[in-house]
Amino acid sequence: MFEDESVMECRLRGNYRIKGLRTTSPVAVGDRVEVLVDTTEGTGVIEYIEERENYIIRKSVNLSKEAHVIAANLDQALLIATVHQPRTSYGFIDRFLCTARAYNIPAAVVINKIDLNQDEEPSQLEEEYSSCYEKIGYPVFKTSAINNDGIDQLKDWMHNKVTLVSGHSGVGKSTLLNAIQPELEIRTSEISEVHNKGTHTTTYAEMHRLDFGGFIIDTPGIKEFGLIDMEAGELSHYFPEIFNASENCKFNNCLHVNEPSCAVMNQVKENAIPETRYRSYLSILESIR
């Protein structure tokens, strides 16, 4: 899309390479590019891709070690979760938030379907989920996509930003995006149809303009994003409350697993750090070691 908002089909200059990153495709949704326009054909050639502020990669599915960049230059990321029908696990939310932080992308959580949480037990769960993340400093939006509750606050947050939207299927992502902007959904399905004719149906991102200002990047078919390569000792940097507590650990290379005088484990014992967060930390630690 050009500055005047016009759109043009472009291809990439044949031998284009980005230094230092082995990727399946050099250009991704959200990239800022310079295009040489062929006025007679009405098409363009991407001559230059600007350095990315950030980008997310797909979880590697093979051993080729090639990264697949899904989207670039994101301002923020939103995870849509539900505590009911279906219940999103703490582990999944924590992994998302940790990944976003590792990519240097501010993140927020939506708890959708709050209309279902009128009974005592689900509403208590809703409270547990939201206070867990609010305490750490993540924005939490409680919405009902079918009743239009909480949609305005979400739109305010998205205003003039490029927002990646993600969530397990069934949490109401389509319904929510439709509540944010009615025609958005229609366009989503049109684009999907075009893509479905090809063989690569599962992993791509779509960027949609918001009429009130900003963009949404949807990643249909992508369940989880790949975590950047990191050392075990780096992981706590992406769990803000664990990172804060770790200042007071006895050993400055403490991984908070079984070391003596670990301030993180003490805070978990005192419920200052939720057990769920600590368990997610341990599980990710296990996976990167």
Q: Which two tokens stand for residue 3?
A: 């500055």
Q: Which residue of 78, 110, 262, 268 would you call a contact of Zn ion, by CB under 5 A?
A: 262
Judge whether 88 and 82 are in contact, CB under 8 Å.
yes
- Separation of alpha carbons 47 and 16, rounded Å: 8
174 binds ligand GDP (CB under 6 A): yes
**Side by side, which strands form the sheet with 225-226?**
69-72, 55-58, 225-226
Count Cβ atoms within 10 A of the Cβ of residue 285 and give its class: 0-12 exposed, 13-18 middle, 19 or more buried: middle
Q: Which two tokens stand for residue 67?
A: 């990264």
249 binds Zn ion (CB under 5 A): yes
58 binds Zn ion (CB under 5 A): no
Count Cβ atoms within 10 A of the Cβ of residue 28 and give its class: 0-12 exposed, 13-18 middle, 19 or more buried: buried
145 binds ligand GDP (CB under 6 A): yes
**In the complex, what is the shortest distance from the CB of residue 145 to ligand GDP, in angstroms, rounded to a whole number?**
4
Q: What is the DSSP string of 68-133?
A: -EEEES-SEEEEEEEBSSSBPPHHHHHHHHHHHHHTT--EEEEEE-GGGTTSHHHHHHHHHHHHHH
81 binds ligand GDP (CB under 6 A): no
Determine the interface stretch with ligand GDP among 52-60, 61-69, 162-170, 221-229 (rule: CB under 6 A).
162-170
Determine the interface stretch with ligand GDP among 10-18, 101-109, 112-120, 259-267 (rule: CB under 6 A).
112-120
Q: Give the strand pairing for 162-166 and 206-209.
A: unpaired
277 binds ligand GDP (CB under 6 A): no
Q: Which residue of 68, 95, 101, 113 would you call a contact of ligand GDP, by CB under 6 A?
A: 113
Determine the interface stretch with ligand GDP among 9-17, 37-45, 102-110, 164-172 (rule: CB under 6 A).
164-172
Please give the residue whose beta carbon sits closest to ligand GDP in the complex: 172
112 binds ligand GDP (CB under 6 A): yes
70 binds ligand GDP (CB under 6 A): no
Judge whether 205 and 28 are in contact, CB under 8 Å.
yes
Residues in the chain: 289
171 binds ligand GDP (CB under 6 A): yes
**In the complex, what is the shortest distance from the CB of residue 257 to ligand GDP, in angstroms, rounded to a whole number?**
35
144 binds ligand GDP (CB under 6 A): yes
Q: Which residue of 10, 27, 125, 146 would you call a contact of ligand GDP, by CB under 6 A?
A: 146
Q: Which residues bind ligand GDP (CB under 6 A)?
A: 112-113, 115-116, 144-146, 167, 169-175
